[in-house]
Chains A and B, each alone.
Chain A
Amino acid sequence: MTEPNNSYQAGLLSRLGAAKQLYLIDFTLGAMKRRTGRNVMLFSVYLAIIFILGSVMLFSHAIRREAAILLENSPELLVQKLRMGRHELIEGTRLEVLRKIRGVRQAQGRLWGYFYDQANGANYTLMVPREQSKTTAVKPGETIIGEGVARTKGIKQGGYLFLLSETGKLMKLKVKQVFSNQSALTNTDLILLSEPDYRRFFVLPPDLYTDLSLTIRNKREIDKIVEKAAKLMPQARFITRRDILRTYESIFSWREGLLLALLGGSLIAFTILSFDKASGMSAEERREIGVLKAVGWETSDVIAMKFWEGALVSIGAFVFGVALAYAHVFFFSAGLLEPVLKGWAVIYPSFTLTPSLGGIQLATLAFFTIIPYTAATIIPIWRAATTDPDEVMR
């Protein structure tokens, strides 16, 4: 082939390249019609795998991102009392000790705990808002509840919430407000009540708290302050904001059940798919390649034609699989994943995630699905494509 000696010829050649690929695609799609059912099934399985993997990837990425943004506002330092390795209530007298540490701006007791509602098998988180809370302040006899609580108990704003305390007494609280869906991801099961109500409900003496929360003047000093506090309170456990964030960095990571199971299942499905593709060409396919070469197709044309077969199916499945996954996760709140995530929980937040595309995850998914499938389409025909076509005469 002569080299182009001007840009017109070069343009012509590149158009020739595209034009030839279109012809090859015409042919390969026609040849695929021979086994329409099988090819449709392969495509559907492929699409389903990408959809499921894509949904889980997009969901995990979005949750991790959402957690990272939201929990950046968690308390800077929490102090938890441990006895025999178990979390125990902490005395308010510790607050004075901690306030004296240089760099601690504020130290407060936190009151929060769990309540199991026998009536419907749901777990609620009961909590007292902090002193400085403005929008979430509650007076005795009042409560603010999460949307999951409202949904499960069938209560609306203005209605009444009844909780049965361990003493056998029923506590009646007027629902001042129900948190919206927008914040359901963190407070769907929350019941906020005043400190007197909380202590009365759980029969808690006045100076005991669930844990203590510290506000630090200079964030860079947190580790130093933890060091000093640990010396003052050797039996305590200190949880920094960084610890909290780190817990959610690894949520849904590969080692955890969901993704591992899916990955394992997908790999098996893919092996079957690829094996089916690669388990030898039929005599007809081999003869067909001989015919193509005999009428003047080069080896590269034959391989390119086969490449398009694999590429069109895999790229098509990927593009539509991811699009469907995106819609599933961000417009339908990953509804199909809900049963898996919910497990035995009665309350599951009714939330919508902030849309985001995990570019690296999707690129990884593309790499590990498109390339193997395309390769599995080309490899079986390599030998036939490179041998002489004279066998077709026989």
Chain B
Amino acid sequence: MMKFLSNTMRRSHLALAVIATGAAGLALMTMHAQFSGRSSQLAGHAALVAELGLTDLALFTEARYTRHPSQADLFTPFQDHPLSFDHFPSGSLVLPQRQFGNKDLFAESLPQ
């Protein structure tokens, strides 16, 4: 098919057509992002969060401090394993809270 196209079309036209196709795909995706209608599903989800009073995403169900990072106290990571902060792989994807509720963690960690 490519050989047929390259024999009948100028190379530049073919290349630009290919890129234009890709760009059209991107444009379609932009429209999809705008009008996908999944936002109404999101509203239902949000209502459930409000009703149950949930505080965290359930993405990292490995350990307590990765499952509820907003609720984890300072020592939970160390409780799970004496030597590690990032014992669980997800730990490297989730930072601990810098501002620990209404208390300061360490002065150095505060935004300057």
Instruction: List residues of chain A with CB under 8 Å of any chain B CB.
Output: 21-23, 25-26, 29-30, 63, 66-67, 69-75, 78, 80, 82, 85-87, 110, 114, 122-123, 125, 127, 129-130, 132-136, 146, 148, 179, 182-190, 192, 211, 213, 226-227, 230, 237-240, 243-244, 246-248, 250-253, 255-258, 312, 315-316, 319-320, 322-323, 326, 330, 340-341, 343-349, 352, 354-357
Known interface pairs A341-B59, A344-B62. Does A354 touch B93 (Cβ–Cβ under 8 Å)?
no
Contacts of B103 in A (CB 8 A): 237
A114 touches B15 (CB 8 A): no
Q: Which residues of B contact A25 (CB under 8 A)?
A: 11-12, 15-16
The answer to whether A243 and B99 touch across the interface, beta carbons within 8 angstroms, is: yes
Cα A188 to Cα B29 in complex, Å, equals 28
B43-83 residues with Cβ-Cβ distance < 8 A to A are: 44-64, 66-76, 79
Q: Is the interface of A mostly helix, strand, loop or mixed?
A: mixed
Contact of A243 among B18, B29, B42, B70 (CB under 8 A): B70
B-side interface size class = 35 or more
Min Cβ gap B75→A in Å is: 5
> Are B92 and A341 in contact (CB-based, < 8 A)?
no
Contacts from B to A (Cβ < 8 Å): 10-13, 15-16, 18-19, 22-23, 25-26, 29-30, 32-33, 36, 38-39, 41-42, 44-64, 66-76, 79, 86, 88-90, 92-95, 97, 99-103
Complex formed: what's the CA distance from A189 to B80 in Å? 20
Known: A251-B94, A322-B26. A186 touches B44 (CB 8 A): no
The listed residue (B12, B58, B79, B95) touching A185 by CB distance below 8 A is: B58
User: In the bound complex, do residue B71 and residue A73 qualify as a contact, i.e. CB atoms below 8 Å apart?
Assistant: no
A138 and B94 CA atoms in complex are apart in Å by 33
